[in-house]
A and B are shown apart, each in its own frame.
Chain A
Amino acid sequence: MSKSGTLDYKCPSCDAILKFDPHGQNWKCEFCKSEYTLEDLQKHDKKVGKKELSEEHTTKMDKDANGMDIYICNNCGAQIVADENTSATFCVYCKNTAILKNKLVDEFNPDYVIPFKFTKEDAIEKFRTIGKGKPLMPKIFNDPKNIEETKGIYIPFWLYDINTSGSIQADSKRITTWVTGNYSHTKTDVYLSTRAGNMEYKRIPVDGSKHFADDIMNSIEPFDYNDLKKFTHSYLSGFLAEKYDLPNEEAVKVAQNRSEESTVKTLKADIKGFNVVNVVKKDIKCEKINDDYALLPVWLLNVNYKGKLRTFAMNGQTGKMIGNIPVDPIKAIIWWVAVFASVMALFVILYFVGVIG
């Protein structure tokens, strides 16, 4: 069929769907329990003369009225509706992973992937213990029952290598005070500080998908790039995946801004021996040296607490989970009163000991 199909991995032994196992970092067949490494699969592909992205489990049919793409699952014949940026999804009926082939070809084909290291169960367990060190969390908030949906998604990220060079100017003030007799003197020495330098940044990640919140994607950083693997679609098996819709030219600006900020900060930190340093002028050039397109693993949890939907996200590689936890107003009041009373009690003790009053 044409390149507009989807594909999934099938077990070379029994033809059942073969999913990637985050714990084993290999592929495990749920039916015949066979396990395969990436090498095994590639060998098998070669033997059966199959090119990558050739096996098709869905056929692209049409666009529906809303511009959504409709695919037919070749496993069970059901229709799969996916928006134009979805590159891997599930057939809602037979749970077959449908890798929508045309989403991964040509310019959308990622350079790298970091495979999932944590499973859905890990993500739910992590959510269950999210209240650790957060005394203001409502008691039942972390109940896994509040999780409406857990999705393992490979999110498209642009990774930028950026070299910065430039200079900053700052008003620096050194303030000294001393006392003679009944007078207090304040001497302010004003300097114009200039610092110039250059710094290199490696693989600043920029979320390439517009419909995932940037702040959430920022907050699960950093990923450990030592695990970056050359992309092969077999890793997508068992997970959802997106293709980028934020073009390279736009995404690079985000990385440039972040590198500029860090360079200014580093140059500013070099201005030492002053009480006040105010940057008045900055001239930093941020040059893109390299860009890579990588799929990075993220568990997204939709949490419904008291009717309000909240998104939690776990870095699928490092296990770092983030999200905004609601504050229990009763607990907040109790804490405030308890701290207030403790400090007040301390004053009373100091009073009776005779230190104050």
Chain B
Amino acid sequence: MKKILFILILLMNILLITNVNAFDTSQKIYDYADLLTDSEEKMLKEKVDEYIKKYNMDMVLVTVNEHDKTSTQAYADDFYDYNGFGIGSSHDGVILVIDNNFEKENIQMETTGKAIKVYTDTKIDSILDDVYTEYDYYELFNLFIKDASKYAERHFPFFIAFAVSALVASIVLGILVAKNKMVKIATEANTYMDKDSAKITERNDQFVTTHTTSVRINTSSGSGGSSTHTGSSGISHGGGGRSR
């Protein structure tokens, strides 16, 4: 009995230790391809921490030379999901991966949770357009953090709020002014109609013509949508990538 108990405790200890050593998610910068110096990593880490604190979304920056995933997107999603990144129950956050596993260098940005809505397809495109012309990796990551922060910044929709408020106020005022005007000429006599006497003797809707018009829906207008895919872990992601 004692032996069994001893083995159990030993097993639990091993489990605990392996768990603790499993992965340090607080590091945020994983430079497996060794593209950054230690001091650069340190400076980037400060900015990443600042981003996480300010926008309440996680940010993970990865460089990698080789892996066994079929695509950079799969690698990025799995790295994010299986290592348990993300803030809150919806795992809010972004990950940027520089991947040299394939013929070309792939730059992949993936979004999760709240970040999917924040970074719409057009915004992701614009961020990637910005960073993929940059070959200094430290500058590339800096640029990414800067752009990601810019788009995460929320703006009070002042003009919409102003217009809607003014419209509502004017409608309410119009209703109140109308209440003061009680004198109106009568044009109809519904009150005096004998409802039982009303008879419809002919009812005919004759078809005349029909026409159909088709208009192309312009999806690129605005920055509305975020397209999503599901990673192997079952978690939804948004994102995009570039090869160079």
Contact = CB atoms under 8 A, between A and B. Distances in A.
Interface of A: 133-137, 167, 172, 179, 182-204, 213-216, 218-219, 221-222, 255, 257-259, 261-262, 265-267, 270-271, 322-327, 332, 335-337, 339-341, 343-344, 347-348, 351, 356-357
Given A197-B198, A215-B184, A343-B168, 17 more contacts: A134-B180, A135-B176, A136-B179, A184-B214, A187-B211, A191-B205, A194-B206, A197-B199, A199-B198, A218-B184, A221-B191, A258-B189, A262-B189, A324-B181, A332-B176, A347-B156, A348-B161
A185 B193 contact: no
A194 B214 CA distance: 30
Contacts of B210: 187-190
A339 B190 contact: no
- Among the interface residues B189, B194, B199, which one has the most CB atoms of the partner chain A within 10 A? B189
A339 B157 CA distance: 18
Contacts of B208: 190-192
B185 interface: yes
A223 B172 CA distance: 32
B213 A189 contact: no
A93 to B, nearest CB: 35
Shortest 8 CB-CB contacts between residues of A and residues of B: A196-B202, A200-B197, A218-B186, A347-B161, A258-B189, A343-B165, A340-B169, A339-B169
Contact of A270 (B177, B200, B214, B217): B200
Describe A's contact surface by its main secondary structure.
mixed
A340 B63 CA distance: 52
Contact of B202 (A194, A200, A203, A218): A194
Interface of B: 154-157, 161-162, 164-166, 168-170, 172-173, 176-177, 179-194, 197-217, 219
Contact of B206 (A137, A192, A322, A327): A192
A300 to B, nearest CB: 13
Contacts, number: 196
B119 to A, nearest CB: 15
Contacts of A255: 189
Contacts of B205: 172, 191-194, 271
A147 B105 CA distance: 89
A188 B212 contact: yes
B156 A348 contact: yes
Contacts of B183: 213, 215-216, 219, 322-324
Given A201-B193, A262-B189, A267 B165 contact: no
22 contacts: A182-B217, A183-B216, A183-B217, A186-B215, A193-B206, A195-B202, A197-B198, A197-B199, A198-B198, A198-B199, A199-B197, A199-B198, A202-B192, A219-B184, A259-B193, A336-B170, A336-B172, A336-B173, A337-B169, A340-B165, A343-B168, A347-B165
Nearest to B165: A343
Contacts of B188: 258, 261-262, 265
Contacts of B216: 182-184
B162 A344 contact: yes
Contacts of A191: 205-208
Given A183-B214, A327-B180, A356-B157, A196 B201 contact: yes
Contacts of A265: 188, 190
Contacts of A196: 200-202
A222 B191 contact: yes
A200 B194 contact: yes
A198 B197 CA distance: 8
Nearest to A340: B169
A311 to B, nearest CB: 8
A347 B202 contact: no
